[in-house]
Amino acid sequence: MLMTPIGVPVPAKPAMRPHYDLVVIGSGPSGRRGAVQAAKLGKSVLVVEKGRRVGGVSVHTGTIPSKTMRETVLNLSGWRERGFYGRSYRVKQDISAADLMGRLHKTLSYEVEVLEHQFHRNGVQWAHGMARFVDPHTIEIVADDGDCRRVKADRVLLACGTKPFRPDYVPFDGSIVLDGDEILDIERLPRSLTVIGAGVIGVEYATIFSALDVAVTLIEPRETFLDFIDKELMEEFVHELRDRNVGLQLGSAVKEIAVANGRARCRLENGRSVVSDMLLFAAGRVGAVQGLDLENAGLTADHRGRLSVDGQTMQTTQPHIYATGDLIGFPSLASTSMEQGRLATLHAFGHQPPSPPEFFPYGIYSVPEISVVGMSEEEVQRRGIAYETGIARFRETSRGHIMGLENGMMKMLFSIKSRRLLGVHIIGEGATELIHIGHAVLNLKGTIDYFLQNTFNYPTLAEAYKIAGLDAWNKLQAAVPLKVSN
Ligand SMILES: Cc1cc2nc3c(=O)[nH]c(=O)nc-3n(C[C@H](O)[C@H](O)[C@H](O)COP(=O)(O)OP(=O)(O)OC[C@H]3O[C@@H](n4cnc5c(N)ncnc54)[C@H](O)[C@@H]3O)c2cc1C
Ligand SMILES: NC(=O)c1ccc[n+]([C@@H]2O[C@H](COP(=O)([O-])OP(=O)(O)OC[C@H]3O[C@@H](n4cnc5c(N)ncnc54)[C@H](O)[C@@H]3O)[C@@H](O)[C@H]2O)c1
């Protein structure tokens, strides 16, 4: 019997049926969660995936590859040790594109195996091919080899995600001018890189390449970027980027991009030009609805290829057709997409799922990483809530000393009236893991007392919660003497 790399027998594929309780289009985070949930409810489920392997953007060109590349870069460059051994410290002297790709392929392969095994043990069938609507209940699947089949579905979950926005004025060539998918297939590391678009994708790749000592210029037409992040954190972030010579061209619209003499030249409307070995165009993504023939199902996407849904049930204007994940827009995260897929399927089969908690964490895997949950200071001010902040710097923690951290901070916001935690904002090592303590306290409607009364492991970075909590309490006491409750 054939075995997969993780030692699981390769199962024989069952024949496709003519009719399913649920057909899911797209095998990314929302599609696969929705599919498995439906199977757990005893429903017959078919997942249609145009890619050769399941996993979606998340596994093949998005979340997992970019985070794997980041991990490889941090490990091979010795980035985490540079606080001790100096900026020129490197674990591997000559890091090549092949070094980055090796770990990537291994990780992706394991991810896919795990997913396929998950589908198999839950009885979810999957078919390779491009899906399109023939009518609201009939889906045609055309495989790469031309094989064409039709299936009927009582309910449909549209989870077909997005693809990079590729405007005509950008001369994409897959080697010098690249989109966010192509950057994962590079055959050589550039010495200089221009990144256009300071959204999450642009910022993550810009800082990952900068950690490899590639000379990076980040171009953004707006004066500010990542506006949903607390301003004080962004000031820290920008300071760190400038400190390591990342060129920031903010408020600079792009006039022209051209390739000449094997290099990319980007002309800006302010008259400046940036020339580099490679250019990454990361100015957003559009819904992957081309070829789906949505009109045959009575559906229409907006100009960015996105569908609107009922925010509670995930139903489109056709009650039996649900849409989830990046296809429906904000927040466009793998984490939230998975939950949307599950909620959609529960609703589709008669269960009334509870509303999701008010706050979800956002993690940006830049170097340094950023993670936030709840309200930013600007939002608290907009809402007119009387508040106080507590700040902890990682270099104040013993764990920070041990790790040689020079940077990193945590900021918490508390309501003066209710003492409730309003938001947590972290930049620095471990931010995306640390955030979950704040996330739990926030959604459990906890107050500053949680941080005052509880003991944290020592030495840990989580101790920053205690330090920031005490800092806020000191300020609160100075403003309004409080009852000592710890
Ligand atoms: C570079 C990058 C980094 C990211 N990093 C993070 C991160 O760190 N954390 C995080 O939470 N999120 C991250 N995201 C976002 C995350 O990847 C998406 O939110 C998530 O993948 C969306 O899931 P989805 O269910 O919409 O499906 P997707 O993952 O978008 O997959 C959709 C699938 O549908 C298939 N498909 C499309 N049309 C058809 C059709 N007609 N027929 C058959 N199949 C079709 C596609 O081939 C694809 O496999 C990142 C995204 C990118 C691009
Ligand atoms: N860590 C994470 O969770 C993570 C990581 C990567 C991506 N994602 C998700 O993927 C989605 C897509 O990310 P993104 O960064 O591609 O898109 P985005 O829409 O968030 O950012 C695009 C950026 O490009 C700029 N821009 C737009 N048009 C431009 C143009 N013509 N020229 C130059 N700049 C232009 C925008 O001002 C913006 O700053 C996001 O919504 C995000 O949620 C999440």
Rounded Cα distance, 196 and 23, in Å = 37
What domain range is 189 assigned to? 177-283
Secondary structure of residue 386 in the 3-state scheme: coil
Where residue 132 sits, what CATH number does that domain have? 3.50.50.60
pLDDT of residue 357: 86
Residues 328 and 247 in one domain: no
For residue 131 and ligand 1, the question of a CB distance below 6 A is answered with yes
Residues 267 and 404 in one domain: no
For residue 31 and ligand 1, the question of a CB distance below 6 A is answered with yes
The H helix count followed by the E strand count for the chain is 13, 22
Domain tally for the chain? 3
Q: 443 lies in a domain? A: yes
List all residues 6 or more positions away from 435 whose beta carbon is below 8 Å from its beta carbon: 361, 363, 371, 372, 373, 424, 426
CA distances from 195 to 249, 403, 452 (A): 10, 31, 43
Q: 320 lies in a domain? A: yes
Rounded Cα distance, 29 and 323, in Å = 13
Ligand 2: list residues with CB < 6 Å: 196-202, 204, 220-222, 225, 254, 282-285, 331-333, 363-365
Rounded Cα distance, 117 and 122, in Å = 9
ipTM: 0.95
Residues 328 and 372 in one domain: no
Using CA positions, which residue lies closest to atom 4 of ligand 2? 200
Q: For residue 486, what pLDDT band results from cuts at 50, 70 and 90?
A: very low
Residues 31-45: pLDDT tens digits?
999 999 999 999 999
Using CA positions, which residue lies closest to atom 21 of ligand 1? 58
Q: 6 lies in a domain? A: no
CA of 327 to the centre of ligand 1 (A): 9
Counting atoms of ligand 2 from 1, which one is nearest the CA of 180? 16
Pairing assessment for the beta strands 162-164 and 148-158 based on DSSP bridges: unpaired
Ligand with an atom nearest the CA of residue 142: 1
For residue 23 and ligand 1, the question of a CB distance below 6 A is answered with no
Last residue of a domain, one of 249, 266, 283: 283
CA of 60 to the centre of ligand 1 (A): 8
pLDDT of residue 354: 82
- pTM for the model stands at 0.95
Residues 378 and 412 in one domain: yes
CA of 64 to the centre of ligand 1 (A): 10
Q: 256 lies in a domain? A: yes
Residues 307 and 218 in one domain: no
Residue 414 has pLDDT above 70, yes or no: yes
> What token pair was written down for 54?
């399941």
| Under 8 Å between Cβ of 399 and 461 | yes
Residues 301 and 270 in one domain: no
CA neighbor of 375 nearest in space, from 332, 323, 421, 431: 421
For residue 217 and ligand 1, the question of a CB distance below 6 A is answered with no
Residues 121 and 269 in one domain: no
